[in-house]
């Protein structure tokens, strides 16, 4: 509606103008040498307009021709950038897939199209790392550490390389630099934790994790290694706080209290620990050194009373009865332990001894929840898979043993 109205108004104006021009009186004369042109005013005006239109068109064409090379190179540059971006994408996928030759090809192509940008440098470094060209990878990662935005990736690469080569000092330096380049990053924190554990610096490792299982194990290890009894108590308390039912945490607390001369508190801790998670490590601390076999049997009864009927209580009573030469008691408690689910061979070994038969093998005391390795000794990090805080008392199930025997 508006469009139609506008068109009508415009047409009317043009018509009126044409009418006015056509009606202009007089004539225009132009002299050039011997030639003389004379025409009416409206025709002369039209001629001037036509010449102006031709001139404008001519200028436009000339300007377009002048800008053409720039436009062409811009178009070519855009195409190069696009192809380079595609090469980077392919390289990134190849790195993620662990395809060394694919990453190498993409990195060469990306460099020829985009030049030596930090992203291209990273791709080049990863391609070298994947194809096992350690020195080339190291140099490329080192160059990447000069980039303001991507220096973290440079330090990350160097850290990985030094860990692989077993250069712990260099790895620690790179971990620090990576932390500086990207503060608070989770990946860097895990690497620093692994390095601290490897160094036996459990107190430092403890500061790097909030995970309760890891904190428990690290605090137990830190308490064992503490230089003063006071420090040991501090770590032991942290261990109990993070893992109240982990027997070694309670054992560490009892040991630390005893180290400070707080015997009563130590014994209270052991009783409490036995109640929540009975374990031979607690029993070992419970007995007074140099006690007679009968005294040990009496002490065992006191501890076992905290958790009557538990497999560990029955085993403790059976073992002390055996050393106190009370075979009836020893048998009764060993059988009770079996009934309570003991399947690691300890109860069976006592019974075999009482019957004068060869003792069966006893299962390792610890098991890794991550890699299922079975170990005789506890350690803060699993010696098989390196994970921290994954060792737990090994409790083979009766069901599994029956299946294996059947």
Q: Where do contacts with Zn ion occur on this chain (CB under 5 A)?
A: 368, 370-371, 373, 382, 384-385
For Zn ion, give the closer residue by CB, 113 or 382.
382
Q: How far is the CB of 342 from Zn ion (least distance, A)?
A: 24
CA distance 252 to 235: 9
Q: At what angle do helices 118-130 and 41-97 cross, to 10 degrees?
A: 30
For Zn ion, give the closer residue by CB, 360 or 386.
386
Give the distance from CA 126 to its chain's centroid: 18
For Zn ion, give the closer residue by CB, 111 or 190.
190
For Zn ion, give the closer residue by CB, 9 or 385.
385
Quick one: which H or E segment has residue 31?
Answer: strand 27-32
Nearest partner of 100 among 126, 121, 79, 80, judged by Cα: 126
CA distance 344 to 333: 15
For Zn ion, give the closer residue by CB, 324 or 382.
382
**Token code pair at residue 312:** 């560990």
Q: How far is the CB of 391 from Zn ion (least distance, A)?
A: 8
Q: Say if residues 107 and 127 touch (Cβ distance below 8 Å).
A: yes
Q: How far is the CB of 328 from Zn ion (least distance, A)?
A: 42
Q: How far is the CB of 371 from Zn ion (least distance, A)?
A: 3
Q: How far is the CB of 373 from Zn ion (least distance, A)?
A: 5
| CB atoms closer than 10 angstroms to residue 188 | 24
CA distance 224 to 232: 7
Q: Say if residues 142 and 158 touch (Cβ distance below 8 Å).
A: yes
For residues 105, 106, 108 and 110, what is the CA-based torsion angle, rounded to 10 degrees? 160
For Zn ion, give the closer residue by CB, 27 or 376.
376
Q: Say if residues 104 and 131 touch (Cβ distance below 8 Å).
A: yes
CA distance 290 to 22: 135
For Zn ion, give the closer residue by CB, 330 or 368.
368
CA distance 240 to 266: 13
Q: How far is the CB of 108 from Zn ion (least distance, A)?
A: 41
Q: How far is the CB of 375 from Zn ion (least distance, A)?
A: 9
CA distance 389 to 317: 30
Q: How far is the CB of 367 from Zn ion (least distance, A)?
A: 9
For Zn ion, give the closer residue by CB, 120 or 382.
382
């Amino acid at each position: 509606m508006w469009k139609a109205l506008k068109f009508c108004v415009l047409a009317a104006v043009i018509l009126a103008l044409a009418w006015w021009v056509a009606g202009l009186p007089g004539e225009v004369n132009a002299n050039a040498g011997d030639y003389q042109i004379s025409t009416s005013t409206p025709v002369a005006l039209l001629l001037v307009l036509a010449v102006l239109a031709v001139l404008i068109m001519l200028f436009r064409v000339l300007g377009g021709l002048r800008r053409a090379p720039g436009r062409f190179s811009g178009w070519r540059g855009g195409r190069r950038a696009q192809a380079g971006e595609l090469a980077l994408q392919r390289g990134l996928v190849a790195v993620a897939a662990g395809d060394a030759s694919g990453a190498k090809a993409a990195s060469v192509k990306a460099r020829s199209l985009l030049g030596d940008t930090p992203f291209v440098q990273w791709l080049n470094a990863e391609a070298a790392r994947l194809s096992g060209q350690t020195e080339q990878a190291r140099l490329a990662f080192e160059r990447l550490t000069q980039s303001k935005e991507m220096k973290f990736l440079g330090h990350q690469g160097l850290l990985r390389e030094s860990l692989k080569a077993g250069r712990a000092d260099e790895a620690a330096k790179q971990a620090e630099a990576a932390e500086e380049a990207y503060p608070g990053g989770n990946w860097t924190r895990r690497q620093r934790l692994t390095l601290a554990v490897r160094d036996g610096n459990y107190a430092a490792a403890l500061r790097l994790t909030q995970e309760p299982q890891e904190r428990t194990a690290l605090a137990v290890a830190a308490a064992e290694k503490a230089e003063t009894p006071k420090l040991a108590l501090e770590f032991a308390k942290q261990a109990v706080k993070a893992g109240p039912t982990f027997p070694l945490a309670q054992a560490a607390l009892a040991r630390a209290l005893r180290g400070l001369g707080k015997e009563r508190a130590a014994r209270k801790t052991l009783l409490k620990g036995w109640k929540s998670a009975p374990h031979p490590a607690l029993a070992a601390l419970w007995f007074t050194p140099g006690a007679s076999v009968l005294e040990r049997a009496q002490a065992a009864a006191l501890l076992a009373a905290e958790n009557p009927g538990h497999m560990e209580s029955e085993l403790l009573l059976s073992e002390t009865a055996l050393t106190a030469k009370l075979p009836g008691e020893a048998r009764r408690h060993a059988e009770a332990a079996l009934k309570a689910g003991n399947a690691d061979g300890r109860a069976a070994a006592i019974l075999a001894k009482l019957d004068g038969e060869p003792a069966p093998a006893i299962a390792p005391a610890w098991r890794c929840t991550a890699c299922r390795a079975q170990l005789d000794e506890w350690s803060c990090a699993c010696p098989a898979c390196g994970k921290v805080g994954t060792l737990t008392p090994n409790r083979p199930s009766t069901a599994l043993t029956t299946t294996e025997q059947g």
